[in-house]
Amino acid sequence: MNDKFAVILAGGDLRVLEMGMMYARNASKQGWLNDVKLFLFGPSETQVATDPVPQEMAKTVIGEGLVPIACQYCLDKFLASKLLSGIGCEIGCVGAPISQAIYDGYVPLIW
């Protein structure tokens, strides 16, 4: 069984973001999976940066040691880089890290 997952939150729907972050958090915290990576991409980034509900969930996830990686390009496009870096997200290009995770055997879960 593969126990390495890359959770990719791409959509901006609040309910989907909450469920995706909750899954990533629990999979990591409860030990359901050995290794979990969390990526924010596109609309999910601006939603987390500007909406207090997913922002609090992101802070909780970060506080428990699962640091989301957010796309610098998308954030710069919407002037939101400082908002996500301010809560502790890692900001950078996500195309290469997502591709590398898949190459390294992480199963992508896209929400």
pLDDT tens, position by position, 45-94: 999 999 999 999 999 999 999 999 999 998 888 888 888 999 999 999 99
Residue 83 CA to residue 3 CA, distance in Å, equals 32
pLDDT at 36: 97
**Helix (H) or strand (E) segment spanning residue 98:** helix 95-103
Write down the pTM of the prediction: 0.94
Give me the residue spans of the domains in the chain.
4-110
pLDDT at 47: 94
* Averaged pLDDT of the chain: 94
pLDDT at 108: 97
pLDDT at 12: 92
pLDDT at 25: 96
Q: How far apart are the first and last CA of the chain?
A: 22
What is the CATH code of the structural domain delimited by 4-110?
3.40.1260.10
pLDDT at 1: 66
pLDDT at 77: 85
Q: CA nearest 71: which of 55, 85, 59, 56?
A: 85
pLDDT at 80: 83
The encoded tokens of residue 103 equal 């190459």
Residue 68 CA to residue 37 CA, distance in Å, equals 7
Residue 99 CA to residue 63 CA, distance in Å, equals 26
Residue 99 CA to residue 86 CA, distance in Å, equals 26
